[in-house]
């Protein structure tokens, strides 16, 4: 069983930057694959925001959740059989893909767990059925459904991990964690920082403040 969200209060979320935003369909993978992935990410001292629990749900994504997505460096999206049946998941996916477009260093890692990447890309199988159902129920909001389709296609076109190819789950989790670590440590100036994921971001903040002080006293 996964713990509650890393920060259950909106105020704390807004004040915290995360290494990884972990997005998934709770009923599919919460107590299995995702619980193991979360545990291994945390074991590597990676700060993870889990969006599945701890925040109030509504028709729209909360500002706190949007902040968590924007403030993360990497988004790991676990596509499972019923992922597209959740409007909540699809709305978050659109936000994640928007961040990737707007922020040069924002990274997205898709994980296709028990689903064919081409079904996600082309909205076939369970993904096709879910989107067709949304289209039927949201005839008044065609643009929203189009944005979901576009986000699914864009995400599935990215290099990711397929549970049908990388087996068993323990190996898949290990590969994903190593991939995330590599992405988070990209651009690190010293090999001594390898594995210390949070250090690089904190060093950048310190350097930024020093630069600001220098500008204040510069004649």
Helix (H, G, I), strand (E, B) or coil at 32: coil
Contact status, residue 52 vs residue 2, Cβ threshold 8 Å: yes
pTM of the predicted model as reported, rounded to 2 decimal places: 0.78
- The C-alpha atoms of residue 142 and residue 162 are separated, in whole angstroms, by 31
Identify the pLDDT of residue 218. Answer: 43
Per-residue pLDDT at 21:
97
Q: How far is CA 47 from the centre of its chain?
A: 12
> Among residues of the chain, what percentage have pLDDT more than 70?
73
Enumerate residues 6+ apart whose C-beta is below 8 A from 93. 23, 77, 148, 151, 152, 155
- What angle is formed at CA 82 by the lines to CA 155 and CA 140, rounded to 5 degrees? 75
Around 22, how many Cα atoms within 13 Å sit in the side-chain half-sphere?
Answer: 27
CA-wise closest residue to 84 among 133, 129, 127? 127
At 142-165, the pLDDT tens digits run 999 999 999 999 999 999 999 999
Could you give all domains of the chain from N- to C-terminal order, each with its CATH number? 10-184 (3.40.50.10140)
User: Which pLDDT score is estimated for 61?
Assistant: 73
Tally Cβ neighbours within 10 Å of residue 22: 26
What are the 10-residue block averages of pLDDT along the chain, 219 residues in total? Answer: 46 63 94 97 95 54 87 97 96 97 94 98 98 96 97 98 97 98 67 43 48 42
Residues 6+ apart with CB under 8 A from 73: 17, 18, 19, 20, 105, 106, 107, 183, 184, 201
């Amino acid at each position: 069983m996964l713990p509650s969200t890393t920060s259950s209060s909106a105020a704390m979320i807004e004040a915290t930057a995360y290494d990884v935003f972990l997005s998934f369909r709770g009923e599919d993978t919460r107590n299995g694959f995702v619980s193991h992935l979360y545990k291994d990410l945390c074991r590597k001292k990676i700060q993870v925001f889990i969006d599945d629990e701890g925040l109030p749900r509504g028709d729209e994504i909360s500002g706190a959740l949007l902040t968590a997505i924007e403030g993360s460096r990497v988004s790991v999206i676990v596509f499972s059989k019923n992922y597209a049946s959740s409007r909540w998941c699809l709305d978050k996916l659109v936000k994640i893909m928007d961040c990737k477009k707007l922020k040069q260093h924002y990274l997205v890692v898709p994980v296709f767990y028990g689903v064919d990447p081409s079904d996600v890309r082309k909205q076939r199988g369970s993904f096709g059925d879910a989107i067709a159902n949304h289209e039927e129920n949201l005839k008044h909001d065609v643009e929203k459904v189009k944005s979901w389709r576009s986000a699914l296609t864009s995400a599935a076109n990215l290099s990711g991990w397929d549970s049908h190819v990388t087996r068993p789950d323990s190996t898949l989790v290990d590969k994903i964690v190593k991939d995330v670590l590599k992405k988070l440590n990209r651009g690190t100036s010293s090999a001594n920082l390898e594995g210390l994921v949070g250090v690089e971001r904190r060093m950048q903040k310190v350097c930024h403040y020093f630069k600001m002080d220098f500008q204040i006293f510069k004649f």
